[in-house]
Chain A
Amino acid sequence: MLKLHGTLPVLSSVTKESYLVTVTKSDKLPKVIRKQRALLRTSAGDESGYKAILTKEQRNNESWRESDIFKISEDQDYLDEGDIIRLDPNSGSFQCLYRKKSPHNTILLTEQCDHYCLMCSQPPKATDDSWLLKEAFELISLIPQDTERIGLSGGEPTLYRDKFIGLLHHIRRSLPNTGVDILSNGRAFKDKEFAKKYSSVNHPNMIIGIPIFSDDPVRHEYVVQSKGAFDDTIRGILNLKEFEQNVEIRVVIHKQTINRLVQTCEFIARNLLFADHVALMGLEITGFTRPNLETLWIDPFEYKDVLSEAVALLNGYGMTASIYNHQLCTINPDARGNYKKSISDWKTEYLEECVSCTKRSECGGFFSSSKKYQHSNHIKAFA
């Protein structure tokens, strides 16, 4: 797992506040744009005029007077040309927000949420973090236009209401060719006017992923820990589809949802056949899942037949369905057509057992958290 954030020793600083900056390895850039770049220093050269310099050497340098100097280590070896980072010269706080080579760049817009899901991977906080949205506006302006996709997640991004729609308009203008994947609980869209505003962004390649955890409203609301959630979310999806927006339905599979997984998929096929994609997702052992592990954990190997049945049903109805966050050796061969390597590259890990596996390159592997805390007891290399 990559360390995308941390604290770096500050060797010297000139800037007072934190800022976003694009990483470069080139010390030959025109002076006029050096103020917008952090130089990832590899050897001695003309290093003057850069906003920041990231160096593995301790020694200070005369030409570095105009720059903020941060000491980096092997942990940041992944940094590459075109990545976008946030640096705070006061505290040394560092975060990598965009990696040019990664297909999985997701922007966290808030940690606030009106759900409190049993298995939340990003436990909500009540504190005001609207600076994240402000930063997102800036980040979008820096992200290169050839980026294929970006993700927007939370927390619940729609809590920003119109400001969230404003961000989408900004994305549409700044990155017209970039696909957008949004994660939301969908409840805000029960308000038809809001759904209409969302559709007015008129983005040709935007999809919103919305969770439905059960066809039983009680169970869904128990999982998300919020009364009234089921009807709101379904109404939200209906409104979004009325305005012809792309909607993905996400079902996280765990001990509390597995017993009605097939019925839930049938509910989706009968009532929400117009959804563009259904993702059946394995559990990530992070955030709230860890304290709730006893309530949530079920070995994927134990439910593989149920998963096959659920997938066959969705396939039968002609829906596009994918299995996310599973390992190939824990699903039946008949479900492989729906299997996707889905775990973000920076979180992917494999086990000892996987070293000799012949299907490793087709397998999504594990969340680093799964490897650490809980994974299937039936991981077995394919011969």
Chain B
Amino acid sequence: MSKFNGIKFYKAPQSSSYTLLPLRFIPLDKDHYVLTNLAGEYLRIKRGVLVDFLRHKLSAEDPSYIELRARHFLIDETSSIAPDLLALKLRTKYSRLCEFTGLHLFVVTLRCEHSCPYCQVSRQSEDKPRYDMSPEIALGALDLTFRSPSSNIKIEFQGGEPLLNFDLIKLIVEEAKRRNQRVGKNLAFVIATNLALINDGILCFCREHSIHISTSLDGPRVLHNANRPRPGNNSYEKTIEGIKLVREALGRDQVSALMTTTEASLNCVEEIVDEYLAQGFNEIFLRPISPYGFAVKTNSYRAYNTERWLKFYKQGLNYIIDLNHHGIEFIEYYTSTILKKLLTSEDPGYVDLTSPAGIGIGAVAYNYDGYIYASDESRMLAEMGDTTFRLGKVLENSYEEIFSSPKLLEPLEASFAYSVPMCNDCAFEPYCGADPVYHHGIQGDFVGRKPTSEFCSRNMEIFRFLIHKMESDSFVRQLFTRWANSKC
């Protein structure tokens, strides 16, 4: 007789039952469902097993039973720690909310020397100084910026082309640093620029103040220049030259690039990725056009549908996975943002894909004219005549008035995905977001009608695609785990 008990001794008695913890499920493919728990952990499960499980008929001997218990879909007599662990993960996921607004966008001018037909901010042509932000507005906006309780403050200069009002950028940076000496927050600066106007003086200032540069690169020369016209038709050349100058002056990692997908991009995703590789970037953000500004007016936004864009995205992601297979470390940014939510308890708080929505909480935009908007997209919408998300005006409204304005609180509350019809039932809700600006713009409603929402269909398909890739390839699983935990 052994003095050791067999494993059976430690199992729950056969007669006992299990209790379901909060869970949601959704079909993945014809055989499988995806089950997600409260903290966003998922399990791919066969349909039959799911049905047994939900009917409280799943045997503790079933291999899936052990998975379901370990991932906190059920509790039984053997362990009751799951609710504590779920609570811990949920707290972690939402912990960023108490930080409040970290990203402060300063639209220092709406002027631009480019004339991109897909411009989503409705730029003005260069010679109209009335589209510049004034120093008074800038200082008033800084007052509000420093009222944010967030310990991390990022000031991003937006346009138009912000370098057209560089003197104001200098004023804001110097003044922000001066004020920060008292409060000691982590203060960072970003200039979103097409780099056409970069020069030694600007670079020198950026180096002195550790300013990060974010630029636009749509792909190879022909594509980029077709997408982004400017006098001389040399946007690509200017951008590439600018990237080199920034790297030399500020450092390798001090410049990042964003791309916008146009109709002309759709058939050349590999070439676009290759261009990023050739320029020494190790990540790309495959971004569809958003339905704002000239993108709507010129119909660039309607030039392709969600299905076509998803084909582009999937092809691009497959290509990037192949690159990693060959030892080239390269990340797709949107994917890694979603993977953080899929595989960790961290929500990166990406403004367009987070719930509660990122408007006001994650970011706020101070427009050139002093009006304050709940996000970058909100001010884009305003240029189209819809001021729904205008929260107030610098120098006229107080911090309290702006951030407790019904114009912010109502869309935040209405769109909170966990309580929105259909989103509430959706297993992908933990990975998704509330985008009240998009849904208001397209459907005239903060919540929107999910069955016809392109935001919904695009993201749902991406979630399915990413889970499918991970479940069918252990290399992808490991790669995605690294992306989920990457710093970007």
Contact = CB atoms under 8 A, between A and B. Distances in A.
A292 B7 contact: no
B435 interface: no
Interface stretch (B64-72, B226-234, B438-446): B64-72
A271 B79 contact: no
Contacts of B3: 116
Interface in B314-355: 344-345
Interface in B45-96: 66-67, 69-70, 78-81, 84-85, 88-89
A225 B5 contact: yes
B81 A234 contact: yes
Nearest to B475: A312
B252 interface: no
Nearest to A309: B474
Interface in B106-135: none
Contacts of A267: 70
A36 interface: no
A265 to B, nearest CB: 11
Contacts of A313: 478, 481
Interface string B1-32: 00111110111100000000000000000000
Interface residues of A, number: 29
B5 A316 contact: no
Given A215-B70, A216-B69, A225 B4 contact: yes
Interface string A254-298: 000000100100010011010000000000000000001000000
A317 B345 CA distance: 11
A218 B481 contact: no
B345 A270 contact: yes
A230 interface: yes
Interface string B356-385: 000000000000000000000000000000
Please classify the interface of chain A as helix (H, G, I), strand (E, B), loop, or mixed, using the class held by over half of its residues.
helix
Contacts of B218: none
Nearest to A232: B81
Contact of A235 (B12, B69, B84, B345): B84
Contact of B10 (A227, A317, A318): A227
A235 B485 CA distance: 25
B429 interface: no
B4 A292 contact: yes
B81 A231 contact: yes
Nearest to A313: B481
A222 interface: yes
A125 B86 CA distance: 38
A69 interface: no
Contacts of B88: 238, 271
Interface string A98-115: 000000000000000000
A88 interface: no
A221 interface: yes
Contacts of A271: 85, 88-89
A118 interface: yes
A222 B345 contact: no
Contact of B485 (A218, A219, A318): A318
A369 B486 CA distance: 42
A168 B123 CA distance: 67
Interface in B463-488: 474, 478, 481-482, 484-485
Contacts of A260: 66
B478 A316 contact: yes
B41 interface: yes
A263 B70 contact: yes
Contacts of B84: 235, 238
Contacts of B80: 231
B78 A218 contact: yes
Given A270-B41, A271-B89, A312-B478, A222 B10 contact: yes
A217 interface: yes
Contacts of B482: 316
A292 B485 CA distance: 40
A322 B246 CA distance: 40
Interface in B372-407: none
B81 A317 contact: no
A235 B474 contact: no
Given A270-B89, A270-B345, A222 B79 contact: no
A40 B368 CA distance: 86
Interface in A237-265: 238, 260, 263
Residue among A263, A270, A312 with the highest chain B CB neighbour number at 10 A: A270
Contact of A219 (B7, B67, B81, B345): B7
Residue among A227, A271, A273 with the highest chain B CB neighbour number at 10 A: A271
Contacts of B345: 270, 273
Contacts of B4: 116, 118, 225, 292
Contacts of B344: 270, 273, 317
Nearest to B483: A316
A260 B85 CA distance: 20
A118 to B, nearest CB: 6
A221 B12 CA distance: 12
A16 to B, nearest CB: 39
A305 to B, nearest CB: 10
B44 to A, nearest CB: 14
Interface string A123-160: 00000000000000000000000000000000000000
A337 to B, nearest CB: 14
A179 B81 CA distance: 32
Contacts of B10: 218-219, 221-222, 227
B128 to A, nearest CB: 49
21 contacts: A116-B4, A216-B69, A218-B11, A218-B12, A219-B7, A222-B9, A234-B81, A235-B81, A235-B84, A238-B84, A263-B67, A267-B70, A270-B41, A270-B344, A271-B85, A271-B88, A312-B481, A313-B478, A316-B481, A316-B482, A317-B344
Interface of A: 116, 118, 215-219, 221-222, 225, 227, 230-231, 234-235, 238, 260, 263, 267, 270-271, 273, 292, 309, 312-313, 316-318
- Among all A-B residue pairs, the 6 with the closest Cβ atoms: A316-B481, A217-B79, A222-B7, A215-B70, A221-B10, A231-B81
Given A231-B80, A270-B89, A313-B481, 14 more contacts: A116-B3, A216-B66, A216-B69, A218-B10, A222-B9, A225-B4, A225-B5, A234-B85, A263-B67, A263-B70, A270-B344, A271-B88, A316-B481, A318-B485
Interface of B: 3-7, 9-12, 41, 66-67, 69-70, 78-81, 84-85, 88-89, 344-345, 474, 478, 481-482, 484-485
